[in-house]
Structure 1
């Protein structure tokens, strides 16, 4: 099949776009409000975009607490969402007011970051500490921008020592989860190698 992605005339009950740009790592973003209230939310439009220096980016829909906090403080942390933390990650996707601390809502312990003020998820095996580089509006056909891309420069990285083996990170051992389409996820449990030619 083929369909016009601007008209989005695919004919399915649900948009298949997310199901074919998959799997996508989940950026589990923690921020602090100006009033010091912690916020934690998962974003499936997330990835890394450069090696040196390190940049990550995530897409965010109509302005949410996460975006307001990042614009106010210019800092955020990206926590790895894993199989063991899947229920807590899902709990933090609830639509709640800015006065709600999603760490408390999901029963998650906070741990301090080293270089930024927002806390990290203590139980997560990885955290990327980021400073805001840029927020880019993503306009629709009418020129209205409810969606945005948030780009952050990674300035600090935490890795749980249990997943460092012989100088390498055991990514599969962490069991990171990835978003597919609809309400589907995947879990990374196996890793295999393939060397580039030449």
Structure 2
């Protein structure tokens, strides 16, 4: 009797996890011996790719590769906003449905990109990991905005403050992939007031086509953080959600998370792939 898909998946995943463990040990040895940095970087790239493959095997994304079915070079790709979409009016949902959607998209805290527009019309896009659901009925979100590495108020805060109550903001929830991780790194870099982070990503305002979902929000209140903290608490009303057609609150693909202060990945599993942040926030 042949193996079922679960057994096949387990064997391949175990092999890949062992490759990751072996790679970690090899990288440590090479660093200790002072070997060539380029060679170490190649091993690190192999390690990250193998860890990512193990995650996909574990999640069942590559199940078609473990059978005799026709080979699909891009199996199980996440539904994204670049395809057919559906808009959900949060006010029209019952409490449980609204809670499930908000929790599914924003808990545990993912790294998101938040889009706002400046008074002069510049479209800004900024990574954040402080978004929280603070109320399900009505649907309210909160995030803390501090100063940037140059001690300037963040463009997101400036844009919301200048536009006032009702100012529009869109929260893009990101899939756990390297493109999204790189988009977070790219949009975190300081730009001049005349430049737009949208020029650094795939997509054009108002739609980030590589996102899993978009939460359209409006500003409710701004509150300075207490105890001398250099930041502002922002309260947003979550008005609607844009999702790929066919996706439910219980079937959302893996989201991108900030792991500690200096890396991004699909979750807290130390064996999973990581994308390092050059400038921890």
Same fold (TM over 0.5): yes
Partner SS, residue 77 of structure 1? strand
Conservation of the 8 A alpha-carbon contact between 1:24 and 1:180? no
1: CA distance, partners of 2:138 / 2:120: 31
Gaps of 5+ in 2: 1-106, 148-152, 269-281
Pairing partner for 1:121 from 208, 212, 215: 208
Number of paired residues? 153
- The structure that is strand-richer by fraction is 1
Partner SS, residue 188 of structure 2? coil
| Superposition RMSD in Å | 2.3
Equivalent residue number for residue 97 of structure 1: 192
Conservation of the 8 A alpha-carbon contact between 1:27 and 1:81? yes
Equivalent runs, 1:1-198 vs 2, <5 Å: 24-62=109-147, 63-73=153-163, 74-84=167-177, 85-104=180-199, 106-111=200-205, 119-140=206-227, 143=228, 145-162=229-246, 164=247, 168-171=249-252, 173=253, 175-188=254-267
Equivalent residue number for residue 6 of structure 1: none
Conservation of the 8 A alpha-carbon contact between 2:216 and 2:240? yes
Aligned CA distance change for structure 1 residues 168 and 80 (closer, same or farther; 3 Å): closer
* Shift of residue 169, structure 1, vs aligned partner: 4.4
* Shift of residue 108, structure 1, vs aligned partner: 2.2
Larger Cα-atom Rg: 2
Deviations 1:86-145 (A, max 9, x none): 1112211111122111010x232125xxxxxxx2312212111111011110133xx4x5
2: CA distance, partners of 1:130 / 1:23: 19
TM-score by length of 2: 0.50
- The structure that is helix-richer by fraction is 2
Aligned CA distance change for structure 1 residues 76 and 25 (closer, same or farther; 3 Å): same
Partner SS, residue 262 of structure 2? coil
Post-superposition, which runs of at least 4 consecutive aligned residues in structure 1 deviate over 6 A? none
Partner SS, residue 109 of structure 1? coil
Stretch deviating more after TM superposition (84-93 or 177-186): 177-186
